[in-house]
Amino acid sequence: MSGEAAFIEALRALATHPAARGLADDAAVIEIGGEALILTHDMMVEGVHFLPGQDPADVAWKLVTRNLSDLAAKGAQPIGVLLGFMLGEDDRRFVEGLGQVLGEYGVPLLGGDTSSGGPPRAHGLTAVGRASHKPVPSRAGAQPGDTLWLTGALGAAMLGFEALRDGSGADSAAYRRPRPRLAEGQALAPLASAMMDVSDGLLLDAWRLAGASEVSLAIDSRAVPIAAPESRRLDALRWGDDYELLFTLPPGTEPPIPATRIGRAEPRGFAPLFLDGEPLVNSEGLGWQHGGP
C-alpha cells in the first residue's frame, strides 16, 4: 500500500456506517432523532501544513478554520471542537491564537488530548456541527445540466505562503488566517445539489466532486476569479488553502450569495474533468495530494 489514495481506499472497507458517506465527503453526517450532527477531523503537520518556526497563534487559527470550512461545506452551524495537541515550545502563543479564533466564530472548546513528541510537531482537531438544512449537502448530488459555481477568488493563499516563506513582508494573512465560508454554506445548503470546500486546489477538488456525483465537470478557466497575477492563473487553480466553496445548482437557480459561475455538469464521459474543453484524465498534478513513502 502506497500513498494517501490507496490508504483511504483500504479504509473504505471499514467505514461501512452510513454516516461515513463512503469516506467520499468533507465530513461524517450522523442522524440523531430530528437532528443531523456533522463531524470532521483535520491534522496539521509542521513542515507539511505550516512552516517550521511559524507563529503558533497562526497555526491554531488555521487548525480551527480548516475544520470549520468542512462544516461550511455541509451548511452546518458549529457546536464545538476537540483538540489534539503536541506539546513544545511557545505553547502559550498557540493558546492565545486558539482563544482568538474560537472567540471570532463563537465556537467552544469541548476537550481533547495532549502529548509530547516531535519535531516535527503535529496537531489535530475535531469539529462538531449541527446541520442547518436536511438533506445535508454532499459531493454526490450534482446532475447533468447543473451549473458550477465558486465563492470568492483563488490564489491569495498561494501568494501569502510565498510571502511568508520568503520573508518578503507582503501580505500573508490569506495563508496564515483563512476565513471559512460558514454563512455562505448555510445559505446554499437548501439549494446546492452538491457542495464541497476548496482546500486542495480547485482542479483536484472539482475532480473529486465529479467522481462522487458520477458526472463530468467542464470548467472555463478564464471565468475563475483569481487574486494573483494573470501569469499565475493555472498555479492558482491548482494551489490549495483557499477554503472557498465549490458547488452546483440546478438549471435556472441563482445563488443567494456572491459567487461566480465557472462551468457546468455534463453526463459522465471518458474524463471526469474538462478544462477549457481539454479532458483531464489523471488527477496527478491537479492539486495537493500526500504522496507515498
Write out pLDDT tens, residues 249-287. Answer: 999 999 999 999 999 999 999 999 999 999 998 888 888
Is the model's pLDDT at 293 over the cut of 60? no
Write out pLDDT tens, residues 48-107. Answer: 899 998 999 999 999 999 999 999 999 999 999 999 999 988 899 999 999 999 999 999
CA distance 160 to 253: 34
CA distance 267 to 225: 26
Is the model's pLDDT at 152 over the cut of 60? yes
pLDDT of residue 292: 38
CA distance 243 to 100: 19
Beta bridge partners of 19: none
**Helix 56-73 crosses helix 91-105 at what angle (to 10 degrees)?**
30
Is the model's pLDDT at 131 over the cut of 80? yes
Q: How confident is the model at residue 19 (pLDDT cuts 50, 70, 90)?
A: low
Q: How confident is the model at residue 178 (pLDDT cuts 50, 70, 90)?
A: very high
Write out pLDDT tens, residues 110-119. Answer: 999 999 987 8
Q: Which of 211, 96, 227 is nearest to 151 (CA)?
A: 227
Domains of the chain: 4-131 (3.30.1330.10), 147-280 (3.90.650.10)
pLDDT of residue 290: 47
Average pLDDT, the chain: 92
